[in-house]
A = this chain, B = another copy of it.
Amino acid sequence: MPDILHRVGIKSSPNEAYKALTAIDGLADWWTNDTHGQSKVGEVIRFRFGDNGGFDMKVLELDPGKRVLWQVVDGPAEWIGTKISFDLRREDDFTVVLFKHQGWAEPVEFMHHCSTKWATFLMSLKSLIETGKGAPYPDDVIVDRQWR
């Protein structure tokens, strides 16, 4: 099955990156400002993007400073059941973030879009941590017309 894979290097500690990937207000500052729920294993985080809908993520794993794993429990049909992971590793004064969005049934056109859009959101995460300012929805980078 095809996967979406990305990698960014962030000038920060793994703990700082982990916080932005797990605190609700951290997630709100790089992905979507409409983020609610509980970032605890077994609980659900709700990410909303206005008229574009959103995603409900069940938190499957939280390993402080090292790894975050979610499973999509509600959202676009193509996303339901897929898994999203962030693995963190320190390299000197940088943190390498390896991102995977796995479990897509088919490499549909929407998956191509989501791959590009994930890259822009990971750059938003990097910017948030390095400069204090991310580009979360509704101030996100627009990559196309149809799916924003």
Q: What residues of chain A have their CB less than 8 Å away from a CB belonging to chain B? A: 2-9, 11, 91, 94, 96, 98-99, 107, 109, 111-113, 115-116, 119-120, 122-123, 126, 141, 143-146
Contacts and interface: CB of A to CB of B under 8 A. Distances in A.
Given A107-B3, A123-B143, A8 B116 contact: yes
Contacts of A94: 144-145
B91 A146 contact: yes
Given A2-B3, A5-B107, A143 B116 contact: no
A145 B9 CA distance: 6
Contacts of A8: 116, 143-144
B6 A144 contact: no
* Most B-side CB within 10 Å, residue of A11, A122, A143: A143
Given A3-B2, A5-B2, A107-B3, A144 B112 contact: no
A116 B124 CA distance: 12
A98 to B, nearest CB: 6
